[in-house]
Amino acid sequence: MATKKMILDLDTGVDDALAIAYSLAAPDVDLIGIVSSYGNCLVEQAGENSLKLLELLGATDVPVFLGASHSSTTDHFDVMQVSKDIHGNNGIGEVDLPKAKRPIETQSAVDFLIESAHKYSKDLIFVPTGPMTNLDAALTKDPEIADLIGNVTFMGGALTVEGNVTPDAEANINQDAEAADRVMRSNLNITMVGLDVTLRTLLTKAETTVWRNLGTDAGKNYADITDFYIDAYYKLDIDKNGCALHDPLAVGVALDPSFVQTIDLNMQVLHDKDNYGRTVGDNARLNDPTTNVKIAVNVDKQRYLDTFMNYLTGLFVKH
């Protein structure tokens, strides 16, 4: 049993699937649960995808909880067509995995997060790789958790590069900018792993071929899931050199901050209609003596990729 405990908050698409594998393979943390969100797919699909992937990887002891089905300012969510194009209609590259034997938990995602914060305190690492709606709701219900959770490392935002859904906004933040702004202004200890670094960290079919050649169910299925993503990046002209390791990089940085160089800043998320979802420093707090957000601006991509492949290949050999 590791001292550090991790909860992932996933809208389980392809890179979220890779994040699950990384967290399970990492030797220095226990994945104690996954809370589901909306984004790459609907929240119910995200939960089912997480359960299927956990079963594929032999981690049937990890519970999955349903979180919010839409943002804090809307009453409905529809998956964007571009998300379906990138992740497949089912979120996991159109790969058909068997329905998991374990059901979704009846406890809510918010209550599980609050309970875990009180139980593990500074040993708890929370990694949201979708919208911030669940974390924002937990902070609203129990503000004390902002001073309990050891670290929140999220995949989202863009400080030094353009967004990927608008020139200003990255997709996860854009799903619920109001919630993200409240989280950024909280007392949480936060690290932002945004497009600034994730777009530099690419996986190619050379790596997925390694997994396929293992001859295991996990290796083959993960190769198929990720190849769909790589092909989508190529066809949509996102990047013809490979696919970005968005969500698993956040897990990597949560466990080993030395993968990235960061700058310290008090951040805000703009949510007026002209700049909706822009992640930027807060002028009003520029001279505050303390900051609560570290923003990753450079990444040791080869060392990270070597660690990623070592962890995932080792995990896939066994399943």
Each residue's pLDDT tens digit, 277-301: 999 999 999 999 999 999 999 999 9
The number of domains in the chain is 1
Q: Which residues pair with 263 in a beta bridge?
A: 295
Range of the domain at 296: 5-317
Phi, psi (deg, nearest 5) at residue 153: -115, 115
- Residue 222: predicted pLDDT: 98
- Residue 107: predicted pLDDT: 98
DSSP 8-state code for residue 105: P
d(CA 240, CA 185): 37
Residue 237, domain CATH: 3.90.245.10
| Token pair recorded at residue 112 | 């599980």
- Residue 1: predicted pLDDT: 84
Each residue's pLDDT tens digit, 100-121: 999 999 999 999 999 999 999 9
Regions of the chain with pLDDT less than 70: none
Neighbour order of strands in the sheet with 190-193: 64-66, 30-36, 5-10, 124-128, 151-155, 190-193, 293-299, 260-265
